[in-house]
Amino acid sequence: MPVSIMKSNRSGLRLATIALPALLFVVLSILSPAFLSVQNLSNINGQIAALLIVSLGQLVVALIGGIDLSVGAVLSLTTTIIVSVSPDFALPAALLAGIAIGLVNGIGVTVAGVHPLIMTMASMTFLQGLALLIHPVPGGTVPDYLAGLAWTSAAGVPAAFFWCVAAVTIASFLLSMTRFGLRLFAIGANQASAARNGIAVRWYSVSCYVICSVAATIAGIFISARVSSGDATVGAPFALDSITAIAMGGVQLAGGTGSVAGVVLGTITLGLLTNGMNLVGISPFLRTAATGLLLLVAISMQRRTVIGV
Amino acid sequence: AGDDVQLLPPELLAPTTDKKTPPDKYKKAPPWTIGMVFPGVGNTWIIQMAAETKSEAARTPEIKEFIFTEANWDPTKQVANMEDMISRKVDAIIIAPIAMPLLKKQVDAALAAGIPVINLGWSKGALPSTVEVMGGGGPFGEVGGKWLRDKLGGKGTVWAFRGVAGVQEETDRYEGFKKAIAGSEITIGAEVFADWNYAKAKGLCENLVLSGKPVDGIWFSGAEMTRGCIDVFKEAGRPLVPMTGEGNNGFLRAWKESKLDSVAAVFTPELGPAALRATVAILQGKSLYDHYFSDPAPITNANLDRYYRPDLNDAFWMPSELPAAEIEKMFKK
Amino acid sequence: MALSSPANALVAFRSINKSFGSTQALVDLSLQGSAGSVHAITGENGAGKSTLMNLLAGVHQPDSGEISVRGQALRLESPAQAQNAGVSTIFQELTILPNLTVAENLFLGREPHRTGIIDRSLMRRRAEQALELVKCRVDVNAYCQALSVAEQQLIEIAKGLMADADIFILDEPTAALNGPEVDTLGELIHSLKTAGKLIFYISHRLEEIFRFSEAVSVLKDGRLVGTFETHELTQDELISLMVGRPLGQLFPPRNPHPSYLGCALEVSELVTSEPEHAVSFRINRGEIVGFAGLQGQGQREIIRAVAGVGPHVGGRVKKRGPGDALQNVDLSIVAVARSGIGFIPEDRKSEGLYLSLSIEQNVALGMLRQLAMWRRAHVRKSGIDDLLLRMRVRANDQGQLVSSLSGGNQQKVMLGRWLASGVDVLLVEEPTRGVDVGAKSEIYALLREFANSGGAVLIVSSELTEILGLCDRILVVRDGEITAELDGVGTSEEEIMRYALAGSTADARKEL
Amino acid sequence: MARLLLSVPIAYAGTAVLLAFAYVARPALVSPVLLLLIVRQAAPLAIAVLGQSLCMRVLSLDLSIGGVILAVSYILTSGILRLPEPLLLLICVLFGAAVGAVNAFFITRIKASSVIVTLATALILSGVVFSLSQLRAPGEAPAILRYIGQTRIGIVPISPLFWLAIFLPVALFLRMSVFGRYVDAIGANPRAALISGIPYVRIVTIAHILSSILAVFSGFVLVGFVGAGSLDIGRDLPLTSLVAVILGGVTFGSGKGGSLGPAVAAFMLTFSFNLLTSLGVGEPGKLMLQGAIIALAATRRSPD
Ligand SMILES: Nc1ncnc2c1ncn2[C@@H]1O[C@H](COP(=O)(O)OP(=O)(O)OP(=O)(O)O)[C@@H](O)[C@H]1O
Ligand SMILES: Nc1ncnc2c1ncn2[C@@H]1O[C@H](COP(=O)(O)OP(=O)(O)OP(=O)(O)O)[C@@H](O)[C@H]1O
Ligand SMILES: [Mg+2]
Ligand SMILES: [Mg+2]
């Protein structure tokens, strides 16, 4: 980790963000011989790819002080669209739906003034209904070309790895190199001040929700290939999981603080936790509790100065 | 055939096909590690099924370790759990997919790695698993449907209380019910999803009863919901109409106390131990049928007392093969 | 110079009306500004100065009337559009973002870029040049949250003046600045003027208006009183144009022969952060004491530590309790407030006021301070009305939201809350920040009255005249240490500056 | 006058519209008996909403409500504690207070995001309860609770009366007391509240403890209503209560909003579920309509 990133205080990165997954990694490689196998590492990669993509979208929204609870429903909806629309149109249809949902969320929050928690919870409920309407019972067939995108491997490196690399690259570029990214940090810190600096706050906010929905759509495409079916409830856990992941990564829901590196680390932490408990044979029922505990540990090590949600 | 492996008593579980697995294909020397990839917990049937399976595993000396994973009903997590089982190189895996097409890739991979996969479910050919063991589903729904059809003399209005929308087992039960009343003059006056949940069913039933919808009988895809409705009818002072249920002690108690006219399909938690026995047999190199199904005779008004256990609490499901001491510990009032 | 000839006007407001709800902020207002001039706008708090400028800055839109720039009528829907029309604004409220670096803040909204990718090295270089211009010595890569208000204000100024614009609006740019910095600003404004730009300059510091501007427009109750050539007016004339009456004395009379009622607050060996020195001082009942010194010498840290708001590493604070005995005060915010010490912060927007609540709710919170939490909250409305009247708060009624008040009136509400709260020690940062002269004299009178009735006041102010005119005793702070204790009556600006600027105290000791 | 109308929570208008619509489309729904039943169904939500609204008024959130209710259900019905019923109930209340105190500790001392903190406690509680309940099947609910949850006096069910007995003192206290004023101040600007010496930590702590205790009471009613322990009890409450609070006129970060609005919103939501059911709308359609209703109702009406 470059020192400059560690020092910058809008990244939200703390020692804990890095120490937690590193510690888990070491402990697991000692406790379980199977952990360090290539197959297991590639399993972990496949298991966290979708969450990583969704969490990066969640990061973009969190940077402007928003939150998107509808990502899970968008993901579910995407899988149902993939198996219900003719294979030629499946991808464009899903992406179009993602963009439309992002627009509605963004406009609801910025123009209609609905609190992001409520707006995205409303769309979550609506989209859950829509997904059930489109494809009530799990099943269907995923176009072959998609299945290939998620399962093939190149030179021994699984496809999921390339999905992750692509997502991380795009997100890092957007947030640290472009004017767009910088302005998100400004909006997250103080909308009114950002607007007075000539930034079209509404336009950017809506863009963030669109980016987030599209990220969830892409994760949905990956998931439908991974579970080889459309499932109207498959995405449900992603809303809270993605928020957990970004929180572990030091992202502040109040806005203006967060980094791609943090989100990657947070997602890896969650992935290691699930995988590790299965390998070590700890009761699966305790996994949820362990996630909660780790989350408390993580936030205890990243004291904030702001008060608020 | 006399040399057939018996997974459960024949009245509880029977093969539905003549096709048998090749002997010795997955034969391995004990001790074994067996993994179970379960969708999630959340109701008393699952709790008991899991307990019975674990207890059976503990009583089987050849099993060194029995690993139970659950995915909190999250399909992606279940895929991950299955992958982790394969990584751990367990000797056999029992699966209960959240939805049938799920886990296909991983089952293929497991079989390719020489790990037999026993499906606690009915994939209808969707999964290439070694052996399948299941009950409930269509026949469960049919039991109630047929009974209602007879009770009402083939005509009248019934309500249908369904479980969680979008779940395969639920849809199968409902289809079974519809099949049973097809061709009669019975119409479905109301159809609601109450998530197999007492509180939700009670609320919905209150709503239906008090808004004055006509009803001659009610079909339920789970008995927690039946109990909710019984309470609503009692509170509203309305005479009970025929309602279907299932073989759970809480329901049997309510049935007996309320003098309901009912029938209970039996969905035994022994299916768990049965799947485990099938796994053991496969690892011992024995040959099993490809597919077993549990469709036992329902509990009726006439034989209710044989099944009801007044000494136990509502969470107990019958029939059970847990040792008496464990039943005592888990379900004593 | 033809002040009001529309022919050479770069900006012209014509018959502007603007109201917020039932508040008529601007009434049929017309005004012109010509290229190559500094045009001061002045008037009481709430007169409509910021509103008028916000129309030109694209923050608000007029209800009726027309704004034309270079003879062309424009409708400015957003700050971005105003920027494109060549208007650069330094707002009354700071718009610096804490999580951006100095360089990023300076260029936010117009970052040097190649197809959307920021050219960071170019941005840094230009940022360094800009900071040089305003003589601000901070690292361009530093995050702004670490900077003082004064530094932030300088960056705000640098940002505004650097823009490639023809019209510059400076709405109270010097509220947090002191002498030398204001001089630098004066030079910058002068060079813009010679380059043919139009500068609208708003300030409540009248001497700045006379130093910088050639024209001054006076606003009152949203109407234009008139536009004048500055050199034709005297300070007193300007004040009576603004306030509508000649102002007597700005500062209330001091008690010439102090016979204080005993010690109210005793601070001993207070250390605010590791490398700093320990300070000790005391304030008597009936006394107003001021911290003077250059910006950022530690005055703020001391007063905040005493208030329990800032950090402290060591030391003790004692306050007069019942029966005149001095009692130790635990330096936590809640304990300090409970002991009867009120702290009035400099940043009223984020630290002082409940903007979304009404005036009544804001003031009542002070009045209820002495009650236990579970007690019934009973507030006398007439008491609040009296207070608002005495403080000359320009508001419709006490149900009005504080967010809809002008900056100066917000300041009065914040002060009013503490005056009504029954505390006997007040710690005040910048008591009259952004307050008009009329209200200033009210606030001074109120503080004096508070002291005369047995209270003790400690203020930190960047306005030396305020310190000199109001305080009974002046403590000069330099490098975290109190270097001099001066009598308010006998001293002068020069003497204070001498102690404030003197070579470091370590050197002074060596000389002894 | 217009300002006054705009400041009335949407829940009142929404309830009126829904009632009027039901009166036309499904008259049976607005009969007193059915209305009372819907009020009873709304009681657990209304109790939880009171706590949630208090948290939101101090710029916090409580997502741990569901976890607390699960834990209550487990403590009461698992039979691990073989104690007299009143003692059991007292233990639940103390447990709730402890959870609230933990939430508040992280929010006020660590200054952590309330969303994250209460999400974490919810995960811990539900994880622990789920793993413990694998060992024992749930048993029956205490008799007092079954009485509260299931019995009626005449046609009036008891649980709404139970709600009223909690609601009135809490709402009055918040409205009349200095504490209530402090709550508004913190909601409007927590930093200013802190700096002016308002006991921020204590008030947020009280809010969270109260919220968790109210969640315990809500759990009492739910467990009593079901009559036995259950693992999917109170699952929707955290998010639904959030919606109810917003529809009830509490706005984040403005110090505005009272206690009655959210309670009316709780009724409105419960009534709308019932209305949609009785209209025979299928599950997907129901979810879609609910989503649309929530979004529309939460749209800000006053231009600013
Ligand atoms: N956003 C707003 N909403 C409602 N009323 C407002 C708003 N902004 C300003 N006002 C009102 O308009 C009037 C003019 O305010 P303005 O801010 O222009 O005063 P000002 O001359 O800049 O005063 P100050 O010297 O205190 O900054 C005041 O009465 C104020 O209360
Ligand atoms: N109101 C808006 N509508 C549509 N797109 C916008 C809006 N505001 C900003 N954008 C997008 O954001 C990007 C940055 O906006 P900005 O206005 O700063 O660009 P610009 O004017 O091209 O910059 P420059 O003048 O420095 O080259 C633009 O490329 C544009 O696509
Ligand atoms: Mg102003
Ligand atoms: Mg531009």
Ligand nearest to the CA of A202: 2
Q: Which of C99, C156, C159 to mutate to probe the A interface, most A CBs <10 Å?
A: C99
- Tens of pLDDT, residue by residue over C10-52, are 899 999 999 887 778 899 999 999 888 999 999 888 889 999 9
> How many whole angstroms separate alpha carbon C289 and alpha carbon D255?
36
Give the distance between the most distant pair of CA atoms in chain A: 58
- Tell me if A21 is assigned to some domain: no
Helix (H, G, I), strand (E, B) or coil at C118: strand
Whole-number percent of chain A with pLDDT over 70: 94
Q: From the alpha carbon of C109, which atom of ligand 2 is closest? A: 18
Half-sphere exposure of residue A269, counting CA atoms within 13 Å on the CB side? 32
Residues in chain C: 512
Q: Which two tokens stand for residue A267?
A: 């997602």
How far away, in angstroms, is A300 Cα from ligand 4 center?
Answer: 42
- Tell me if D31 is assigned to some domain: no
Q: Which regions of chain C carry the CATH code 3.40.50.300?
A: 2-86+165-242, 260-347+423-511
- Tell me if D288 is assigned to some domain: yes
Q: Cα-atom radius of gyration of chain A, to the nearest Å? A: 19
> How many whole angstroms separate alpha carbon D189 and alpha carbon B162?
49
Q: Which of A37, A76, A149, A233 to mutate to probe the B interface, most B CBs <10 Å?
A: A233
Residue C205 burial by Cβ neighbours in a 10 Å radius (0-12, 13-18, 19+): middle
How far away, in angstroms, is C166 Cα from ligand 4 center?
Answer: 16
Contact list in B for residue A39 (CB cut-off 8 A) is: 86-87
Closest C-alpha residue for ligand 1 atom 10: C404
CB A67 within 8 A of CB A116: yes
Q: Which two tokens stand for residue C382?
A: 């007439």
pLDDT category at C508 given cuts 50, 70, 90 is very low
Q: C96 in contact with A at a CB cutoff of 8 Å?
A: yes
At A7 the pLDDT is: 43
Cβ atoms within 10 Å of A272's Cβ, excluding its own: 23
At D67 the pLDDT is: 95
**pLDDT at A259 > cutoff 50:** yes
Section C209-236 average pLDDT = 90
Contact list in A for residue C96 (CB cut-off 8 A) is: 193
- Tell me if D14 is assigned to some domain: no
Q: Which two tokens stand for residue B143?
A: 């039991």
At C7 the pLDDT is: 57
Residues in chain D: 304
Q: Which of D113, D117, D288 sits opposite A252 (nearest CB)?
A: D113
Cβ atoms within 10 Å of D23's Cβ, excluding its own: 11
Residue type, A250: G
Whole-number percent of chain A with pLDDT over 90: 58
Architecture field, domain C2-86+165-242: 3-Layer(aba) Sandwich (3.40)
State in Å, rounded, how far the first CA of chain A is from the last one: 29
- Classify domain C260-347+423-511 by CATH number: 3.40.50.300
Contact list in D for residue B203 (CB cut-off 8 A) is: 41, 274
Helices vs. strands in chain B: H and E counts, helices first: 11, 13
Residue type, D253: G
- Higher-confidence position of A7 and C6: C6
Section B312-332 average pLDDT = 87
pLDDT category at A33 given cuts 50, 70, 90 is confident
**pLDDT at C505 > cutoff 60:** no
- Number of folded domains in chain D? 1
- Tell me if A285 is assigned to some domain: yes
Q: B155 in contact with A at a CB cutoff of 8 Å?
A: no
C-alpha dihedral sign at C184, C190, C196, C200? positive
- Higher-confidence position of A281 and D92: D92
The chains found to touch B (3+ Cβ pairs under 8 angstroms) are A, D
At B39 the pLDDT is: 87
- Tell me if D18 is assigned to some domain: no
Q: Which of A10, A177, A196 sits opposite C99 (nearest CB)?
A: A10
Closest C-alpha residue for ligand 2 atom 21: C110
Mean pLDDT across chain B: 90
Residue D264 belongs to domain spanning = 40-300
Q: Which of C404, C435, C440, C442 should be mutated for ligand 1, with most atoms under 8 A from CB?
A: C404
Q: Which of A228, A233, A281 sits opposite B105 (nearest CB)?
A: A228
Torsion angle (degrees, nearest 10) of CA C132, C133, C138, C142: -100
- Higher-confidence position of A286 and B317: B317
- Number of folded domains in chain A? 1
Going from the C-alpha of D181 to that of each of C404, C417, D177, the distances in angstroms are 21, 14, 7
**Of the listed ranges A182-186, B230-234, D2-6, the one predicted with least confidence:** D2-6
Nearest to D248 by CA among D257, D239, D236: D257
- Tell me if A157 is assigned to some domain: yes
Q: Which of A103, A187, A203 should be mutated for ligand 2, with most atoms under 8 A from CB?
A: A203
> How many whole angstroms separate alpha carbon B87 and alpha carbon C484?
76
Section B69-82 average pLDDT = 86
> How many whole angstroms separate alpha carbon D64 and alpha carbon D48?
11
Mean pLDDT across chain A: 89
Q: Do residue B171 and residue A47 have CB atoms under 8 angstroms apart?
A: no
- Residue A247: give its domain's CATH number: 1.10.3470
- Higher-confidence position of C275 and C430: C430
Q: A230 in contact with B at a CB cutoff of 8 Å?
A: no
**Of the listed ranges A32-46, A50-64, C188-202, D211-225, the one predicted with least confidence:** A32-46
Q: A40 in contact with B at a CB cutoff of 8 Å?
A: yes
> How many whole angstroms separate alpha carbon A80 and alpha carbon A85?
9
- Tens of pLDDT, residue by residue over B116-131, are 999 998 888 888 889 9
At C489 the pLDDT is: 85
- Tell me if A23 is assigned to some domain: no
Around ion ligand 3, residues with a beta carbon closer than 5 Å are C 50, 92, 407
How far away, in angstroms, is C84 Cα from ligand 4 center?
Answer: 7
At C293 the pLDDT is: 83
Q: What angle do CA C449, C454, C459 make, to 5 degrees?
A: 65
pTM: 0.85
Q: Which two tokens stand for residue C168?
A: 């510059």
The chains found to touch D (3+ Cβ pairs under 8 angstroms) are A, B, C
Interface of A with C in 177-196 (CB under 8 A): 177-180, 182-183, 185-186, 188-190, 192-196
> How many whole angstroms separate alpha carbon C474 and alpha carbon C460?
10
- Residue D249: give its domain's CATH number: 1.10.3470
How far away, in angstroms, is C138 Cα from ligand 4 center?
Answer: 27
Nearest to C390 by CA among C422, C416, C411, C364: C416
Q: Which of D114, D239, D300 sits opposite A112 (nearest CB)?
A: D300
- Higher-confidence position of D278 and C316: C316
Section B80-108 average pLDDT = 89
**pLDDT at A126 > cutoff 80:** yes
- Residue C224: phi and psi, rounded to 5, are -85, 120
At C258 the pLDDT is: 64
CB B187 within 8 A of CB B213: no
**pLDDT at A4 > cutoff 60:** no
Residue A83 belongs to domain spanning = 36-300
Q: Which two tokens stand for residue A136?
A: 């009530």
Low-confidence ranges of chain D (pLDDT < 70): 1-7, 135-137, 300-304
Residue type, A225: A
At D7 the pLDDT is: 66
Which residues of chain D are at the C interface, by a Cβ-Cβ cutoff of 8 Å?
3, 173, 176-182, 184-185, 188-189, 191-203, 253-256
- Tens of pLDDT, residue by residue over B156-210, are 999 999 988 777 788 889 999 999 999 999 999 999 988 888 878 988 898 888 7
Q: Do residue A129 and residue D242 have CB atoms under 8 angstroms apart?
A: no
Q: From the alpha carbon of C204, which atom of ligand 1 is closest? A: 25
Q: Which of A174, A179, A205 should be mutated for ligand 2, with most atoms under 8 A from CB?
A: A179
